[in-house]
Structure 1
Amino acid sequence: MLVFRQLFDPVSSTYTYLLGDAEAGEAVLIDPVFEHHRRDSALLRELGLRLLATLDTHVHADHVTGAWLMKQSCGSQILLSEHAGASPVDRPLRHGDRVAFGRRYLEVRATPGHTNGCLSYVLDDLSMAFTGDSLLIRGCGRTDFQQGSPGQLFRSVREQILSLPQTCLLYPGHDYRGLTVTSVAEELRYNPRLGGDANEGDFAGYMNHLGLPHPKQMDIAVPANLRCGQPGAHGAEGQDSSWAPLTFSFSGIWEIQAASLAERLAEARSGALQLIDVREAPEFTDALGHIPGARLLPLSELSARMAAEIDPARPVVAVCRSGTRSAQATVLLQKSGCKRVANLAGGMLRWRAERLPVEGGVD
C-alpha cells in the first residue's frame, strides 16, 4: 500500500511530501524544511517507515532544506540534481533516474527554467507528480534569478509535466492560497501562463514583466541549501536539547514553542525552570503583560547580572516581545556556560496570540 502525506510549512508556504511503501517499510521525503525535521522524523516513526532519502526539487531561495538534519536523525541519503552545485550530495540525480522505495519508485524528470537544477518526480504509475516550483497551481516559479530562463521553463513544463496523462495529479512545491493539488488536465486548460494556446513567446513576455522583489530569505536560504541545510560553525555545540521539545533554527538557536512552554509553567513557578523576560522594565508591565513565573532580567543588564542570578545547572527559557532580543540572550547564556537554553519562539506576541496565561496586560 502506498503511504502518502502532504505536509505544510506556514512560514514559507512550502509543501513537503512523504511517500512510502507500507509493506516494505521504506519511504522518501520530498522538499523537507529545516524547522520541521522533528515533525517529519516523528511521523516516520509513527507510521513505521524507514527514510531512505530526501529529494529536493531544487536549491530553494525561500526556506532552508531539512535534508542534512534528516540524514543525521534517520540516516537517509541526500538526493539532488547533478546541476544544483550543492554539497554534500550522496546521489546526484539525472533525467531518467529512478528512486526506489520498497516496490515503488519515482522517476526523475529534469525541468529546469526556474533554476538550472530543477527536478520533478513522477510516481511509477503516472498517477502523481511532484513539480517543485517548475509548475504551481495556476502558476509557475519565477525565472529572473538562479540561472532562470523563461524559454527553458516553458519547454520543461510542456514536455515533461503537461505531457503526462491528463488524470495525473500534480503536487506543487508551494501554494500561497491554501490550494493543495491540481491535475494535468486543469493546468492545460486553466493555467494563465502555460495553459491554453500560450506559446513560448507569450510565456516569456509574461515572465519578463513580473517585477517581483527577491525572496526575503534568499541571502540565507541559497547558501544554506548549497550546503544541503548543514548549519555553519555557529550551531549550538555542546547544548543539551533533551529537556524539552525544542526546535533548532538555522541561525543556531534552540527554540521552544509557546504551547510547549505553557505545559511547563509549574516548573517556572517552582524555579525548576528559569524563565527570564529580557525586555525593559516598562515593557514587563505593559499591554502584553508577562508570563506567570517569569523574572525580569533586561537584556541590557544580562551580561552583568547572569553570573549571580542564573543557575547554569537548571534549564533557562528567554522571553521578549517578538523573540529577537531573547534569541540574543540565549547566545549570551550559552557563552556563559548554560547548556540547557531555549528561546520562546515568537515571544510575547505569539504567546498572547495563542491566548495563553499572562499576568497584567490588556485583553
Structure 2
Amino acid sequence: MQVNPIQLFDAESSTYTYILSSPDNRDAVIIDPVDRHWERDLAHVERLGLTLTHVLETHAHADHVTSAGRLRALTGAKACVPSGCGIPPAEMQLEDGDLIEFGQHEHIAVLHTPGHTAGSMCYLWRGNLFTGDTLLVGGCGRTDFQGGSAEALYDSVTGKLFALDDATRVWPGHDYKGQSVSSIGWEKRHNARLAGRSKPEFVALMSALDLPRPKLMDVAVPANRNLGLAHSV
C-alpha cells in the first residue's frame, strides 16, 4: 500500500493538500483540504480503498476555505487543529509534542511553529514534514496578521525545523513557482529568506514586504474557524 504522501493542488490559492495512508490497514489522513475540491479528495480516498480517519489543519487559512467540516460529516473522520488557532468545533485541539495515531502503527508528530500565525503547526510523519505556511520551498509564509510574528517564525524554523535531519522532506502548504517538495538540508543552505540571515536581518526583510491583504481573508478566516462551514459557532 502507498506510504508516500499524495500531493494535490488547488490552482486558485496555490494550496497543497496531502493524503497519507497507513501501510498496515486502510486508514488515511488528509492535511489542509480545500472546500472546492472535496469531491476530488474523496474520490482519491475511495479509489485507493482507504478510510479517512483524521482531517488535519496546519492553521486557520486566510486565502481559501477548508473542507474539513464537510469531510468530517461525510466520513466520520476526526478534525484535528492547532489549539492556538481558535477552531472550537474540532475534536482534537493539538498541542506541541502530541502524536496523532492512525492505522496500527502510524503516528504523526505535532510541532508547534508559531510565526505565520500564532497557532501554526507542522506535522512530521515517516521523514516527511508538512509545513503549512511556516516554511515554503525557498521561502516562508507572511507574518503580518493573525498573531503572526517574524521573530517567532525565525525561531520556529531555525530552532525547531532546521534541527531535524537534513534528509527530512519538506512538503509546503503553498507553492507559487511550480516547486512541490524540498528537504531540510536544502532549505538550510538555500532558502532565500532564511539561509544565512540573522534574526534582525530576517525581521527587517519581512517588515519590508508590504504584501496586499488576502482577498478572501474576511470570508475564509471566520469560516475556517468553524471547519469551513458557513456559520461560525
Secondary structure of residue in 2 paired with 1:41? helix
Query: Which residue is equivalent to 2:199?
Result: 200
Give 1:160 shift: 1.7
**2:153 partner letter:** L
Corresponding residue of 2:25: 24
1:129 is paired with a residue of what secondary structure? strand
| Cα drift, residue 4 of structure 1 | 2.3
In structure 1, stretches of 5+ residues that fail to align are 234-363
Residues 29 and 53 of structure 1 are in contact (CA less than 8 Å); yes or no, is this contact kept in structure 2?
yes
| Contact preservation (8 Å) 1:3, 1:21 | no
Superposed CA deviations along residues 42-82 of structure 1, whole A, max 9, x for unmatched, are: 11111111111110000000000110010111111110011
Name the residue aligned to 1:168. Answer: 168
CA distance in 2, matches of 1:205, 1:57: 26
Structure 2 partner of 1:120: 122
Alignment of 1:51-200 (within 5 A): 51-102=52-103, 103-123=105-125, 125=126, 127-195=127-195, 197-200=196-199
Say how many residue pairs are matched. Answer: 230
Q: Write the letter of the residue equivalent to 1:190.
A: H
| In structure 1, distance between residues paired with 2:37 and 2:164 | 31
Q: Is residue 232 of structure 1 aligned with residue 227 of structure 2?
A: no
Structure 2 residue 216 is the aligned partner of structure 1 residue 214: no
The answer (yes or no) to whether the contact 1:5–1:18 under 8 Å persists in 2 is yes
User: Matches of 2:47 and 2:23 in 1, distance apart?
Assistant: 12
Match of 1:12 in 2: 13
Relative to the length of structure 2, the TM-score reads 0.96
Q: Partners in 1 of 2:73 and 2:29 — Cα distance?
A: 15
Contact 1:22 1:49 in 2 (8 A): no
3-state secondary structure, aligned to 1:194: coil
Q: Deviations over 1:103-130 (max 9, x none)?
A: 211100000011011000011x4x2100
TM-score by length of 1: 0.62
1:16-42 deviations in whole A, cap 9, x for unaligned?
A: 000001331001100000111111111
Give the Cα separation in 2 of the matches to 1:199 and 1:93: 30
Give distance in 2, aligned partners of 1:164 and 1:106. Answer: 15
CA distance in 1, matches of 2:206, 2:219: 25
1:129-162 CA-partner distances (Å, limit 9, x unpaired): 0000000011100011110101000000112211
Question: What's the secondary structure of 1:61's corresponding residue?
Answer: coil
Name the CA distance, whole Å, in 2 between partners of 1:231 and 1:145.
22
SS at match of 1:223: helix
Aligned partners of 1:41 and 1:74 also within 8 Å? no
Distance between the aligned counterparts of 2:160 and 2:229, measured in 1? 31
Distance in 2, matches of 1:34 and 1:134, equals 21
Aligned amino acid, residue 165 of structure 1: D
Q: How much identity, in percent, do the aligned residues show?
A: 43
Task: Say which one has the larger Rg.
Answer: 1
Deviation string for 1:196-230 (max 9, x for gaps)? x2111111000001001111111110111111111
Amino acid at match of 1:132: G
The one-letter code of the counterpart of 1:228 is L
In structure 2, stretches of 5+ residues that fail to align are none
Question: Does the Cα contact within 8 Å between 1:151 and 1:200 map onto a contact in 2?
Answer: yes
Tell me the amino acid that sits aligned with residue 31 of structure 1.
D
- Show the counterpart of 1:34: 35
Where in structure 1 do 4 or more consecutive aligned residues deviate above 4 Å? none
Q: Which has the higher contact order (CA 8 A, sep 6+)?
A: 2
1:265-280 to 2 correspondence within 5 Å?
A: none
Match for 1:106: what amino acid?
A: I
Query: What residue identity is the alignment partner of 2:107?
Result: Y
SS at match of 1:83: helix
